[in-house]
Amino acid sequence: MVFSIARKELKSMFASPMGWIILAVMMGIFGNYFANGVTNYLDVASGAIRPAERIGLTQFVSQTVYGAASFVMLFAVPLLSMRLIAEERRSQTLPFLFSAPLSITEIVLGKFAGLLGFLSILIVYIALTLSTLNLWSDIDFGYIIANSVGLFLLVASFCALGLYFSSVTTQPIVAGILSFVALFVLMMLDRFFGGDPTSIIANFSLLKHFGSFASGLIDTADVAFFLLFVITFLTLTIRRLDADRLRG
């Protein structure tokens, strides 16, 4: 049943002009960063910089694209997640969803999987675009895989938090604004508290935990953080909807 709900959400996104517009705009943005990264690398490679001071093609271009992707997703996810549950509540179709032979957990996981599946198209697009560099140079596929895994976990965290805020209000716009503000704060925590080595708050920064993936490493501690983050907000969403169903 989770798969059925996820498929329904995917169809609804592709049936909406907003879904296609967001997909096209983001692909255009990532493609532009990719082209600029290649151009800048060629400019650097043809300069007077000694080879020992240069970084590889894969890292040079990928860090540009993935760095941009982490912040572009910050704007895209609230736009897509804000309607998932808030729209159901506003249109008063949520009671019909509750009356279906589905558990709250299946509903939440299905909506989460549908949104994450849609955004995964962009993650695959980025990886395939960067892989084309192998046509004229040897590249580090491990670096691309690590960054792709990190971006997937980061986006999954965005989706889980966005889904939660969509469950607490009847207004999609309010849900979108709350999601964006919360995600922005969580991304920037290490910038505000990173100077204090004893600060516990900085450890909750999403950008800090994405950093190991951005450097080409898959750290199990960072994987665990993202998984716990996703599980926490999905659980909060389930509890919120379960309370709504009990109240009728």
| Residue 243: HSE in the Cβ half-sphere, 13 Å Cα cutoff | 8
Q: What one-character DSSP code corresponds to residue 53?
A: G
**According to the model, what pLDDT value does residue 53 have?**
47
In sign, the C-alpha dihedral spanning 76, 228, 63, 127 is: negative
Region 130-145 average pLDDT: 86
Q: Residue 196 — very low, low, confident or very high, per pLDDT cuts 50/70/90?
A: low
**According to the model, what pLDDT value does residue 125 have?**
94
The torsion angle over the Cα atoms of residues 55, 57, 58 and 60, rounded to 10 degrees, is 60
**According to the model, what pLDDT value does residue 17 have?**
83
pLDDT of residue 45 exceeding 80, the answer is no
Q: What one-character DSSP code corresponds to residue 82?
A: T
Is residue 88 a contact partner of residue 238, using CB atoms and an 8 Å limit? no
| Residue 118 tokens, joined | 């849609």
**According to the model, what pLDDT value does residue 193 have?**
66
Non-local (6+) Cβ contacts of 224 within 8 A are none
Q: When comparing pLDDT for 56 and 8, which is higher?
A: 8
**According to the model, what pLDDT value does residue 44 have?**
72
Region 123-134 average pLDDT: 92
**According to the model, what pLDDT value does residue 229 have?**
96
pLDDT of residue 98 exceeding 80, the answer is no
Give the closest residue to 158 by CA, choosing from 98, 222, 92, 71. Answer: 71
Region 204-208 average pLDDT: 86
Helix count (H) and strand count (E) of the chain?
10, 0
Region 200-219 average pLDDT: 86
Q: What is the pLDDT of residues 153-192, one digit of tens each?
A: 999 999 999 999 998 888 889 999 999 999 999 888 877 7
Q: Over pLDDT 70: what percentage of the chain?
A: 92
Task: Report helix angle 104-131 to 220-247, nearest 10.
Answer: 150
Q: Where are the alpha helices (DSSP H) in 132-171?
A: 141-167
Q: Residue 48 — very low, low, confident or very high, per pLDDT cuts 50/70/90?
A: very low
**According to the model, what pLDDT value does residue 51 have?**
47
What is the pTM for the complete model shown? 0.90
| Residue 21 tokens, joined | 């517009």
Q: When comparing pLDDT for 150 and 12, which is higher?
A: 150
Region 36-59 average pLDDT: 68
Kindly report the average pLDDT of the chain as a whole number: 85
| Residue 186 tokens, joined | 């969580």
| Rounded-to-integer distance, Cα 169 and Cα 248, Å | 16
pLDDT of residue 4 exceeding 60, the answer is yes
pLDDT of residue 46 exceeding 80, the answer is no
Region 119-134 average pLDDT: 92
